[in-house]
A and B are shown apart, each in its own frame.
Chain A
Amino acid sequence: VSFIPDGLDCSISFVSHVLGKVCVHGRQKEILGVLMPHLTDLTKSDCIWQRICWRLVECVPDRWMEAVVLGFVQGAPGADVLSRLLGNLVVKNKKAQFVVTQKMLLLQYGHTTAVLQNLLGYLSLDSLRRTLLLRVLQELLETWSSSSAVKHSPAEQQLYISKAILICLSHLKEPEIESCRQELLTSMMEGVKCHLDSSLPQLRRLGMVVAESISLKINTEGPVLKFEYEEDDETRKLKSLLVQTPPLCVVPSLPDDDRSEKAGAALPLVPESNEKPHTAAPVMPDEELDAELDSDDDLTPYDMSEDKELKIKAPVYIRDCIEVLTGARSEDVDKWEATVKALESLVRKNPAATREVSVELAKILLHLEEKTCIEGFVELRQRAQVAVLTTDPIPVAKYLTSQFYSLNYSLRQRMDILDVLVLAAQELSCPKFHGKTKHSGAQKRCIQLLPGSDSSKDWRRIVDERIKSKTRRFAMGQSHVELASRQNEFNSVAGHFFFPLIQHFDRPLTTFDLLGEDHLVLGRLVHTLAILMYLAVNTVAVTAMGKALLEFVWALRFHTDSYVRQGLLSCISSLLLSVPTERILLDMTEELLETQSWLGDVMEKDPDGDCRRLALQNLLLMENLKKKLEAVPS
């Protein structure tokens, strides 16, 4: 379609109609793919063509306006081009305004960053449109800072909104920031609170990045908000949105868009400590001759071979360790450090001695705080706890699970209890090879529990990842490897790990309310139960555990926190994998059917992508089970 420039008076409305109709039928790309480059070229310097173009889009009937605008915004190579082509359409036309400021930003979230840049850049390029930009920013911030939006909207949408906010911020000029500084500050405070409250690390990071960026913009001098988080590609890309590169062709009415000097706003510089005077180079004295040399030779040195580095010896007996750790003598920090480092190996080497004092030791370790700065203190403590727990599982598990639900523990301590239980369970359920076979040490195989389930291996991978170790060795039935089989040590204690944890979850204490504020711990608890369930395969208690777990999941299935829901779904996976198929289908048929319909629901309607995937995998697992049972000749 080529245009013949024949006078300003010709009516373009026919062309607009055609354009609109084509776009609404979904052919935006085709027609605009041809039209736009032409228009871009023509409107570059020719005002008349610009006006023709504006007229063209203005005349598109309202019912087709959305499709046309969408097409333009998506297809334009840059914000300046979009500005030339659309002109002040958004100001003049209500429908266009709605599409650009509301629909594309708040109701949809599938557009690329480039499209966002186009859109928001377009809004910023004209003074008439800038009011819209500010309004857009306000609405975006409202959504960003609303706690229900943070809890219920999918992560992708939240990312989209965050990107939009950052791009808006990059376009704002000083006087505009001044005028809305207070609102920016309030939204930032509210928003960062909701984001940090979330259990998903991605959302927390998003919140932190956006809050930092807002703080950077509104405080050009003085200290800026700075969070600690791990930088990754996503955060780097987000941060790069804050800086606008100047457009290639200059739009006459506006100054350079480069905001990089704003982005360089000062982070507080720690005052440099004073320059110290330089040390002079060491001066070698003149060789002192004769007499001086002799007098030194008179002094013969003694034997100094015993002079070695001083090593503080750690105690050799467990009870001594207990004494040192509960130490009245707080000056003996060297000994304390040595004890902490040596404790795990001592516990493992002296199981009988440990069993005598296991609960006491567990108690001490749970409350042990870092006295001096040892490297890897947290890990040392955890390993010692795991060692104690595996050496004397039943009483220590009883102690730990009861402490999990006790008053006056910090969240960190409760989550540590869960971690220790999981690690110990893992160790107990794994047979240990004592190095006599030829293949020992070199085997790192994955589990093969349900042979031949070809359909989605993903569930296995995901469950694998959930269990935090890298190697797992199971006694395998394959003939070419003769591995010694051992008694499953987890068998006798699985119930002791599992049931106390699941018992009291709905009883709130003054300082600990799993169903209320402490949903992070609830999430961790649910994941822990999933892992314990998974490790309980081949134990006697597994069916009872399965039943209890199913009830537990059923009670919590509508929880609002996506981390908890993910945990619940992995509980179902573990259940389906661990409990023998016959028992599932015989003892839990009704519950299973209900669960199946729930899973279908989750798969379709849950806002969180991971939840949907897990639900799908669970359904596939269930299908596999059914097929397996049908395949077995009865």
Chain B
Amino acid sequence: MALPPPDPQFVLRGTSAAVHTLHFSCGGSEPDIPLLFSGSENGFIHIWNLKTHRVDTALDGHGRKSVCCVETMGGRDRLLSQGRDQRICLWDLAEGRTSVTDSVFTEHVGFCRCSLLKVAQGRWLMAMAARSLEEVQILELPSKTSVCTLKPEMGAKLGMPMCLKLWQLSCDSQPLLLAGYEDGSVVLWNVAMGKALSQLICHQEPVMSLDFDAEKAKGISGSSEKVLSIWSLNEQQNLQVYKTHKLVNAGISDITIRPDKKILATAGWDHRIRIFGWKKLKPLAVLDCHTATVHCVCFSDHNNPQDRLLAAGSKDQRISVWSIYAQT
């Protein structure tokens, strides 16, 4: 007899706007407090204290335009945020400061979240959608130098890039980019050479979100239709469809695989969070607590596996935090 799905451990209220992006920073040791960063539609970035469940700081750096992505760069003192004011801001949060140290003007008016990858100590690569409709630009941070621009070939008609993921198999291998586009295809790009290695049509509708497991060379993507698509990368760097999974209701906003690669979570337009096992995509749980579209899901980076959390941000302005399958 299966147990009913668990309730959230707690629900954070107080953003007063739809929540579009979440990022945990709980990997520090004591006395660091576990933190959750959230970006909202009203342009604020809230830093939540996960002990007190209250907002510690609110950052206002995007001119009241929606924040679509927040990520920490090597520790909680440096934050990167992307807003729909066409800017990516780098924040310095050490010792209680809240200042924007640098910003990149992306000229991108779409919704594509940028992707960060640490390539060396103090150096990151960032992939972002650029001004021109189909292009993705790779910048090196913090120097903001352009590494390359990934342009699909003429007449490819991929549409806008919808979601990006930079990854590399190990520290010294080549960085690669997986990009999901408006026409439903996922393209694997070689960043150093600036050319596409493989393209796979995964969906009939735009790819809303994707995530990739570099060790198993397997990835998953969700779209506005009722299907999740799982694809794999073979030795020749070619993408192939592995399987598809049909959902009950259409529309996925976000997918994320837990760092231990055991489970993954999807944020759905039907207000529900679904948990699947990553190995075989076995449905594990449906978490129904929000009353509007869930925009983002995020797993925490706790050192102690027992403390691991899952957070979901929704259009109903709440952030639900769950502890699920933390024992494994």
Contacts and interface: CB of A to CB of B under 8 A. Distances in A.
9 contacts: A277-B199, A280-B241, A282-B241, A283-B242, A295-B262, A301-B2, A302-B3, A302-B284, A303-B3
Contacts of B185: 276
B4 A302 contact: yes
Interface stretch (B23-31, B98-106, B169-177, B269-277): B269-277
B242 A304 contact: no
A395 B270 CA distance: 43
A309 interface: yes
A304 B249 contact: no
Contacts of A301: 2, 282-285
A282 B231 CA distance: 9
Contact of B4 (A282, A303, A309): A303
A114 to B, nearest CB: 53
Given A279-B200, A285-B242, A302 B232 contact: no
A486 interface: no
A299 B282 contact: yes
B232 A283 contact: yes
B6 interface: yes
B282 A304 contact: no
B280 interface: yes
Contacts of B305: none
A302 B2 CA distance: 5
Contact of A295 (B232, B279, B285): B279
B120 interface: no
Nearest to B226: A309
Nearest to B153: A274
B156 A296 contact: no
Closest 7 CB pairs of A and B: A303-B2, A302-B285, A307-B286, A310-B270, A302-B5, A301-B284, A282-B241
A356 B280 CA distance: 58
Contacts of B10: none
Contacts of A307: 248, 272, 286, 288
B2 A300 contact: yes
A623 interface: no
A582 interface: no
User: Which of A273, A276, A283, A301 is packed against the most chain B CB atoms within 10 Å?
Assistant: A301
Contacts of A280: 200, 238, 240-241
A295 B277 CA distance: 10
Nearest to B263: A299
A279 B279 contact: no
Interface string A505-535: 0000000000000000000000000000000
A408 B158 CA distance: 45
A308 interface: yes
A306 interface: yes
A109 to B, nearest CB: 54
Contacts of B232: 283, 285
B328 interface: yes
Contact of B277 (A277, A282, A285, A296): A296
A274 B156 contact: yes
A292 interface: yes
Interface string B232-256: 1010001011110000110000000
Nearest to B287: A302
Nearest to B199: A277
A298 interface: yes
Contacts of A273: 157
Interface residue SS majority, chain B: loop
A309 B155 CA distance: 39
B285 A304 contact: yes
B119 interface: no
Interface of B: 2-6, 155-157, 183, 185, 199-201, 232, 234, 238, 240-243, 248-249, 262-263, 270-272, 277, 279-280, 282-286, 288, 325, 328
A310 B294 CA distance: 14
A283 B283 contact: no
B279 A304 contact: no
Given A304-B283, A307-B286, A282 B249 contact: no
User: Which of A274, A285, A292, A299 is packed against the most chain B CB atoms within 10 Å?
Assistant: A299
B155 A274 contact: yes
A150 B148 CA distance: 68
Given A298-B328, A299-B277, 8 more contacts: A273-B157, A295-B279, A299-B263, A299-B328, A301-B2, A304-B5, A306-B286, A307-B272
A310 B286 contact: no
A335 to B, nearest CB: 12
B242 A282 contact: yes
B103 to A, nearest CB: 31
A301 B6 CA distance: 11
A277 B155 contact: no
A618 B279 CA distance: 82
Contacts of B5: 302-304
B204 to A, nearest CB: 11
A109 B284 CA distance: 79
A310 B271 contact: yes
B286 A309 contact: no
A519 B229 CA distance: 58
Contacts of A274: 155-157
Contacts of A302: 2-6, 284-286
Given A280-B238, A282-B240, A304-B286, A309 B249 contact: yes
Contacts of A306: 286, 288
Interface string A265-290: 00000000110110110110100000
Contacts of A310: 249, 270-271
A308 B248 contact: yes
A273 B157 CA distance: 8
A233 B13 CA distance: 68
B5 to A, nearest CB: 4
A306 B287 CA distance: 10
A298 to B, nearest CB: 5
B252 to A, nearest CB: 13
A292 B216 CA distance: 12
Nearest to B325: A299
A298 B328 CA distance: 7
A296 B284 CA distance: 10
Contacts of A309: 248-249
Given A301-B284, A310-B270, A282 B243 contact: yes
B225 to A, nearest CB: 14
A280 B229 CA distance: 14
A295 B201 CA distance: 31
A442 B157 CA distance: 58
A301 B263 CA distance: 11
Contacts of A304: 2, 5, 283, 285-286
Interface in A297-352: 298-304, 306-310
Contacts of B288: 306-307
A266 B269 CA distance: 46
B280 to A, nearest CB: 6
B248 A276 contact: no
A306 B185 CA distance: 32
Contacts of A303: 2-5
Contacts of B240: 280, 282-283
Nearest to B282: A296
User: Which of A283, A300, A304 is packed against the most chain B CB atoms within 10 Å?
Assistant: A304
Nearest to B286: A307
A290 to B, nearest CB: 13
Nearest to B230: A282
Contact of B284 (A276, A299, A308): A299
Nearest to B2: A303
A273 B282 CA distance: 37
A305 to B, nearest CB: 8
A295 B199 CA distance: 32
Nearest to B200: A279
